[in-house]
Amino acid sequence: MIFDGAEIVVLAMITLDVLRRRRNMFNTLIRVCKSIPLVAAALLLTVPAWSQEDAATLFKSKCAACHGPDGKAETSMGKALKIRDLGLAAVQSQSDSQLTEIITKGKNKMPAFDGKLTNEQIAGLVTYVRELGKKH
Ligand code: HEC
C-alpha cells in the first residue's frame, strides 16, 4: 500500500493526537499521585482536631461544673472546694501521668473518672488541660 501526501499528514496527526492524549493521561496520573499526600495530610490534621473538640465537649459536660468552662474554677463549687485554676504553673508543672492519675483515680474532693471515661478520653482531657495552661 502506498500512502500519498494527504494520508501521511492524516496519519501523522492521528499519531500526534494519540501521543498527546497519553501525555494528558500521564499528567492526570501524576496530579492524582501528587494529591495523595495532601489528602492524607488533611486527614491527619482533622483527626486530632476531632478528638480535641471531643475533649472540649467532655470538659464542659463532666468537669466545668467544678472547674468552670475555662478551668479557672470561678464557680461556686470551685470556690467552695478551693480548686486551683488549672492554668496555674503549679498545676501545669505536674507531669502528664500525674494529671492522668488525678483524673483517673480522683484526689480528695476531685471525683475519680475511672470507668466513667475511657483512657483515650482522659488522655484527651490532659491535652485539653495543657491547652488551658497555654491560654493563661
Ligand atoms: C465535683 C467537682 C469536680 C469535678 C466534676 C471535677 N473536678 Fe477536677 N478537681 C476537683 C477538686 C476539688 C480538685 C482539687 C483536688 C486536690 O488537690 O485536693 C480537682 C483537681 C483537678 C486537677 C488537678 C489540679 C491541681 O490543683 O493540681 C485536675 C487536672 C482536674 N481536677 C481535672 C478534672 C477533669 C479533667 C475533670 C472532668 C473529667 C474534673 N477535674 C472534674 C473537683 C472536681
Cβ neighbourhood burial of 75 (10 Å; 0-12, 13-18, 19+)? middle
The pick from 60, 67, 91, 94 for probing ligand 1's pocket by mutation, whose C-beta has the most ligand atoms within 8 angstroms, reads 67
Distance CA 64, CA 100 (A): 17
Share of the chain above pLDDT 90, in %: 57
Q: 126 CB under 6 A from ligand 1?
A: no
Angle between helices 96-105 and 119-135 (to 10 degrees): 120
The top-scoring range by mean pLDDT among 13-17, 30-34, 129-133 is 129-133
Ligand 1 atom with the shortest distance to the CA of 113: 38
Return the higher-pLDDT residue of 121 and 40: 121
Tell me, what's the pLDDT at 125?
97
Q: 72 CB under 6 A from ligand 1?
A: no
Q: 69 CB under 6 A from ligand 1?
A: no
Q: 63 CB under 6 A from ligand 1?
A: yes
Return the higher-pLDDT residue of 2 and 81: 81
Report the separation in Å between the CA atom of 13 and the middle of ligand 1, taken as the mean of its atom positions: 77
pLDDT of 96 strictly over 70:
yes
Residue pLDDT, tens place only, 70-91: 999 999 999 999 999 999 999 9
Domains assigned to the chain: 5-135 (1.10.760.10)
Tell me, what's the pLDDT at 30?
86
Tell me, what's the pLDDT at 136?
63
Share of the chain above pLDDT 70, in %: 93
Cβ neighbourhood burial of 18 (10 Å; 0-12, 13-18, 19+)? exposed
Cβ neighbourhood burial of 127 (10 Å; 0-12, 13-18, 19+)? middle
Distance CA 24, CA 26 (A): 5
